[in-house]
Structure 1
C-alpha cells in the first residue's frame, strides 16, 4: 500500500475511534440517580453495604437522601428527631459514596410537607408561628378528602423568621454531607397564599412559589451549591390533564418562567411515562425523570431520556439530565424487599426494588458499561 495513503487511513481511523469514544461518552446520562429516605442509625452499616454492592456496581452516580430531621443538628437541636443520625453515621455514608464517585444530595422538605396524616413535622411543631394555615387544626384521625383540603401543611414563605431557621439547617446538612447540592422537596404544595394568612393573602401563588424557590436557590448559590426540587408544582394540571398530584391545580405552574434556570427539576411520573421532561428542557431547565414502582413505565422513561438527548439540538440536549429511581418507604423496608426479591400483592413485579433492578438493567444495556 502507498505509504502516504496508509498514513491517511491510520489518521482517519484514529480520528474515527476518538470520535466514537466521545460519542459514547456524551450519550451517557449525566445523572443516574437513586432517591430514598436516609437510613435510621441502626441501619447505617447495612445501607453502606447496599451502596457499596448495589448502587456502586450499577453505575448510580447520584444519591438523594431524605434526611429531614433525622440528623443531630447543632444549629437547631430542638428540631432533631428523637433518634437521629450522628456525624459519624453520616461520614460512613460520605466515605462509601466517595468510593464509587456518587454525588450525595441531602433533602429537607421545605415549604410543603410540613405535616403527614395526623402529625405535624418538627418545624411547625416547634415553631407554630410559621404555619401558613394555623386555623386548620390537625385531626385526631386523618382522612382524605376532608373539608379543610388538608393534605400536608406548609410554612408561610413570607414569615420574617422562617428562613433564619431553615437556612441554618440547609447549611449544616450540606456541610456534614460534603454536598454541593441540596434537594428542597417542594412537591404537592396545596397550601400557599392562603386567604387567611396576614402576609400571603391576595398574593399571586405562582409568584409566592417562585419567590421561595429563588430565595432558597440564591442562598445555596452563595456557597456554590445547586438546588434540586420536584417538578409537579411547575406543570399546569388542567391543560395537561395530570391533575392535582402530579401537577398544579392552584396556579403555581406559571412559576416555571420565574425561577432561576440553574434549579434542577426532578420530574416524577409513576403510572405513565408522561413526557413533561420536554416542557422543562424547553424552558431552559435541567430535568431528571423520576420513576417509582412500575418496571415497564420506568424502562420507557429511561428510553425516552436517551431518545430526547439523541434527537435534540446541542442547546437542548444537556437539559435532558438523567433518570432517578425514587423510593417511598424507609431504607430498611426497601432493602428487605430488595434482598428477599419480594413480589407485589398480586404476585407480580410492580415494586420499587424490581423497578430499580429493571431500570438499571436498561440503562447499563444502553450504555454498555
Structure 2
C-alpha cells in the first residue's frame, strides 16, 4: 500500500510539473519609464543583455509626454525622444522578440505632487479640481486629499486632445496595445467640478475606460490598465492604494472584457488575479520591490492556471515587474546594487531577478 501511494504521488507530481510546463506565461513583462534620448543606446544594450536573456517578451514603456509629438507639439515634455529614436528602439526590440506597449497616463496622474503634467499645464481647463492648488512643498496626508490630479472625463474637449496622443504614440511604436494607466485615481466626481459633481464614480470610471477602449478597438488595438480602481478596498481589506476606497470598484462589471488588467500588489501576493479572471478579464500580476512577493506571484499565477478550467486558465497571462523610477537608475542599480537596510529585503533589481528566475524555473520543469 505504501509503495502504491508513493507511486501515485510521483505520478501526480510528474503530471503537475508537466501541466506547469504546458501553461507557461504568455506575458513575461517589464514596466519602466522611457529612457532619456542620450541613454537610448545603453537602453537597447540593456534590452539585449538583460531583458531578452531573462525571457522578457513585453516592455511597457511609460512615455507620457516624453516624445516629440507632431500632432500636439505643445504637449512635448522636456528632452523628448524623436521619431527616429523611437524607431531605433522598436526595431531593436523586434529583433529580440520584445513587444513594446507604450503608456500615457489617462484620467489620473495628471500631476505629481507639486508639478502638473503637460496636459493640465497647457490645458488647465481640463483639471478636475482647478480650485486645489499644487503646493510648493508636498506632504501626505494633506487637507485637500491631494495625491495626483485628474483630468475631467466629462470635459467636452479633453478626448480630442488625448486621443491625438494615443493615436500618434501607438503608431510610432507600431504597437498592438496601449497602456492608459488609470491607477490611483482619487479625484473623480469631485464636488469642485461643475460637470462631474454628483455623478457615480464607478460609472464615470467605467465610461472613461469604455471610451478609450472603443477608440482603440477601431484600430484593432487593445487597452491595458492598472487594476487597483476595480478592487473594493474595504471588502478585501487591501485599502486605498492597491484597491479603491472611493467607490469605483463596481466599474469592474461595467467595462469591456477585452481590457487587460495589470494587477499590481507590492507588499503581499494578494489572490486578486482570480477575481479578474472569474470576471472574464485577462490579467497580469505585477510586483515591484520585494523579491519574495514576486516569487509568490509567479507561483500563484501558475497555480491558478493549473487549478482552473481551460477557459479561465487562459486569462492568467503572466507577471510583469514594475519599476517606478528612471530607466537610467534601474540600469545603474543592476551594475551597482544598493545595499539593503533593515531586516526586510527590499530591492527592485532583486525583485526583477527573482521574478525572472521563478518563471525560468517554471518553464524548465518540463
| TM-score where L is the length of structure 1 | 0.92
Q: Does 1:204 align with 2:200?
A: yes
Q: 1:111 aligns with which of 93, 107, 128?
A: 107
Aligned position for 1:182: 178
Q: 1:352 aligns with which of 345, 348, 351?
A: 348
Superposed, which structure 2 residues align to 1:19-34 within 5 Å?
Answer: 26-34=22-30
Offset of 1:341 from its aligned partner?
2.7
Offset of 1:72 from its aligned partner?
0.2
**Local SS of the residue matching 2:92:** helix
Contact 2:20–2:306 under 8 Å retained in 1: no
Q: 1:244 aligns with which of 240, 243, 246?
A: 240
Aligned position for 1:94: 90
**Local SS of the residue matching 1:245:** coil
Structure 2 gap segments, 5+ residues each: 1-14
Provide Cα deviations, 1:17-48, integer angstroms capped at 9, x if missing partner. xx99x967641111110000000111111000
Aligned position for 1:40: 36
Aligned position for 1:328: 324
**Local SS of the residue matching 2:59:** strand
**Local SS of the residue matching 2:102:** strand
Aligned position for 2:6: none
Contact 2:189–2:197 under 8 Å retained in 1: yes
Superposed, which structure 2 residues align to 1:267-346 within 5 Å?
Answer: 267-346=263-342
Contact 2:266–2:287 under 8 Å retained in 1: yes
Offset of 1:201 from its aligned partner?
1.1
C-alpha separation in 1, matches of 2:44 and 2:219:
28
C-alpha separation in 2, matches of 1:38 and 1:327:
11
Superposed, which structure 2 residues align to 1:50-69 within 5 Å?
Answer: 50-69=46-65
RMSD, aligned α-carbons: 1.7
Offset of 1:344 from its aligned partner?
2.5
Structure 1 gap segments, 5+ residues each: 1-18
Aligned position for 2:169: 173
**Local SS of the residue matching 2:263:** strand
C-alpha separation in 2, matches of 1:90 and 1:278:
36
Contact 2:128–2:149 under 8 Å retained in 1: yes
Of structures 1 and 2, the one with the larger relative CO (CA 8 A, separation 6+) is 2
Greater C-alpha Rg = 1
Q: 1:147 aligns with which of 135, 143, 146?
A: 143
Contact 1:118–1:139 under 8 Å retained in 2: yes
Aligned position for 2:11: none
Provide Cα deviations, 1:29-85, integer angstroms capped at 9, x if missing partner. 111100000001111110000001111111111100000000000011111112110
Offset of 1:346 from its aligned partner?
4.0
Aligned position for 1:3: none
C-alpha separation in 2, matches of 1:220 and 1:26:
32
Offset of 1:218 from its aligned partner?
0.5
Q: Does 1:82 align with 2:78?
A: yes
Contact 1:343–1:350 under 8 Å retained in 2: no
Aligned length: 351
C-alpha separation in 1, matches of 2:344 and 2:209:
40
Offset of 1:198 from its aligned partner?
1.3
**Local SS of the residue matching 1:167:** helix
Provide Cα deviations, 1:206-253, integer angstroms capped at 9, x if missing partner. 000000000000000100000000000000000000111000001000
Q: Does 1:121 align with 2:117?
A: yes
| TM-score where L is the length of structure 2 | 0.93
Contact 1:343–1:349 under 8 Å retained in 2: no
**Local SS of the residue matching 2:53:** helix
**Local SS of the residue matching 1:363:** helix
Provide Cα deviations, 1:75-102, integer angstroms capped at 9, x if missing partner. 1111111211011111121012101211
C-alpha separation in 2, matches of 1:199 and 1:292:
36
Q: 2:210 aligns with which of 214, 217, 234?
A: 214
Offset of 1:368 from its aligned partner?
1.5
Offset of 1:125 from its aligned partner?
0.2
Q: Does 1:361 align with 2:357?
A: yes
